[in-house]
Amino acid sequence: MNLNEEVEILKGVPIFSKIEPARLKLLAFTGERMTFGSGQEVCHQGDPGDAMYVILGGVADVLINTDKGPLRVAELKKNGFFGETAILCDAPRNATIKASESLLTLKISKDMFYRLVSEFPTMAIEMMRELALRVEDTNQKLRALTAATKAA
């Protein structure tokens, strides 16, 4: 894949969509592309984390540990991102991410992440938007389950 093709792919990712194409070349240059085969883990719950990932292609499962073994709680698709909590909060990985089909990711190190957010505030805004939507979505599920539990 040449640099222009890479830039085209990055332009389609919402958190990068408002960064000027010329500047996306920096990201295409510096971000690390990593591929994972079906069933392969990208990161493991409890491990320390020093990078976040953006999915450029493929699908991954989000698994959490329970006393009955790993439980699949969500699915991540193209343009999704994960791993930001570990680098923002200096916390261990809060879930295991496993490719459920061939997965292409852009790995962004913690240092690179802070540099990108400082240089490209639109990336921070898009990430905040996505995080706000996740809070809202999880809150709605929590409220629905609380209401169902009380009604039962």
| 50 binding its own copies? (CB under 8 A) | no
Nearer to its own copies, 77 or 129 (CB): 129
Nearer to its own copies, 24 or 62 (CB): 62
What residues have CB less than 8 Å from 11, skipping those under 6 apart?
A: 17, 21, 24
* Total of residues contacting its own copies (CB under 8 A): 34
> What whole-number distance in Å separates Cα of residue 76 and Cα of residue 61?
6
Q: Which helix (H) or strand (E) holds 60?
A: strand 60-66
Q: Would you put residue 67 in left (φ > 0), alpha (ψ -120 to 50) or beta?
A: alpha
From the list 2, 53, 11, 52, the residue with the least C-alpha distance to 29 is: 2
Sole binder of its own copies in the list 40, 94, 100, 109 (CB under 8 A): 94
Q: What binding mask, one character per residue, do residues 124-143 give for its own copies by CB under 8 A, x or -?
A: xx-xxx-xxxxxx-xx-xxx
| 29 binding its own copies? (CB under 8 A) | no
Q: Alpha carbon 146 to chain centroid distance?
A: 28
Segment contacting its own copies (CB under 8 A): 18-26, 28-36, 102-110, 144-152? Answer: 144-152
Nearer to its own copies, 3 or 125 (CB): 125
C-alpha dist (Å) from residue 25 to 2, 19, 20, 47, 142: 11, 10, 9, 31, 41
Q: How far is the CB of 138 from its own copies (least distance, A)?
A: 4
Q: How far is the CB of 127 from its own copies (least distance, A)?
A: 6
Q: Which residue has the tokens 């505030």?
A: 121
| 17 binding its own copies? (CB under 8 A) | no
Contacts with its own copies, residue ranges (CB under 8 A): 64, 66, 73, 84-85, 88-89, 91, 94, 114, 117-118, 121, 124-125, 127-129, 131-136, 138-139, 141-143, 145-149
